[in-house]
Amino acid sequence: MSEKAKNEQSDHRDFTGVGWASVPFHRGSTGDEELDRRISELVADWKCGQNASLIEEMIITALKLGHDEVGVGELKLLNRALKEMRTAENVFHPYQHRRKVSVYGSARTDPSAPEFKAAVEFGRKMSEKDYMVITGAGDGIMGAANLGAGRESSFGLSINLPFETGANETIRDDLKLIDFNYFFTRKLSFVKEADAVALFPGGFGTMDEGFEQLTLIQTGKSTVVPLVAVDAPGGTYWKTWKQFLEEHLLRRGLISEEDFYLFKVTDDLDEAVEEILGFYRLFHSYRFVRGKMVIRLREALSENALARLNEDFGGMLEKGRIEQTKALKEEADEPSLFSMPRLVCSPKRRGYGMYRKLIDAINKAETKTAVK
């Protein structure tokens, strides 16, 4: 199988369907049957297809905001946020079949610094594996990662700041450069579009983005993805950070030992790249359906491998066993993934570090093809 084929994504990426807290859709109402009918007719005239009910719900919500007499400042915020999210969706949509890695790091890093050179090389290596790189569009580490990946394989998510210096040379004036006014809409794109995360040394912003990624994964509000903290060769930035977590968070019981499965610290670029690529060796993706975790695989596992998973990970299940099956009928909304074999189980509603450990075990497991 080619590297490109291995990295192909679904044509339907439901960011809301990955966690226990996913809320089922229920169409609302204005409370006025005639007005509801007019809204439905308007949406039908606009030809919104299978998304008509969701568009109707958004219109109803907007009308209710007007009825609630929400202040103009709040309405401006909501309006601009929705527009920014729409713009980002339109930019990313043509590239939905390619996997992407979000790269964070300082804008102040000098091109002569070993961290800068490491980020350039990391971007190059990921691009060679058909991954696209998402950065904050600035200089320093961000510019280095874009430089390594090249313009064709780069996205830039710029933020409007009083001291903004503009986008880096690689992504400047590119159609894949998006300007955001709000950090929260920008952060949503970083998380929603990424299949992996790479942290390079940085300041408050890098720490904020790294901890947010970990928090969202730890709480099940976003998918478990490979997160690698990359030092320059011989560097100690992330090693010291990990030591802080061990001595001041883990020791006090503020985090769990299994949380350390959610990330990897390394100063070896090849190891960093393999951490990402290896995550998708057999594992493709997962979602929750009626309380069950459905794990999509590139190949079916052997019976021995399945038995070993049940033996090693039975403790993380709420009930039952890990079963290998075909797609569930509720997954019909993802037709491009429907033919993939599945593992289905009922895991406990916490401990996403163990989810990551399970995925690692799956990627090392024996397949039915290998047995033959």
pLDDT in tens, 78-87: 999 999 999 9
Q: Whole-model pTM above 0.85?
A: yes
Measured between alpha carbons, how far is 218 from 231 in angstroms, rounded to an integer?
Answer: 23
pLDDT mean over 117-124: 98
DSSP 348: -
Under DSSP, the state recorded for 103 is E
DSSP summary character for residue 68: T
Averaged pLDDT of the chain: 92
Q: Percent helix, strand, coil in the chain (nearest 5)? A: 50, 15, 35
The pLDDT, as a whole number, for residue 370 is 83
Average of per-residue pLDDT across 216-232: 95
Using one digit for the tens of pLDDT, what is the confidence trace for 24-56? Answer: 556 789 999 999 999 999 999 999 988 899 999
Q: Decide: 199 and 105 in contact? Cβ < 8 Å.
A: yes
Please say if the pLDDT value at position 268 is more than 60.
Answer: yes
Contact assessment for residue 99 and residue 134, using Cβ atoms and an 8 Å cutoff? no
| pLDDT higher than threshold 90 for residue 207 | yes
Q: Would you state the pLDDT for residue 351?
A: 85
pLDDT band at 371 (very low <50, low <70, confident <90, very high): confident
Indicate the length of the chain as a whole number. 372
pLDDT in tens, 130-178: 999 999 999 999 999 999 999 999 999 999 887 766 899 999 999 999 9
Token pair in block for residue 228: 């690698």
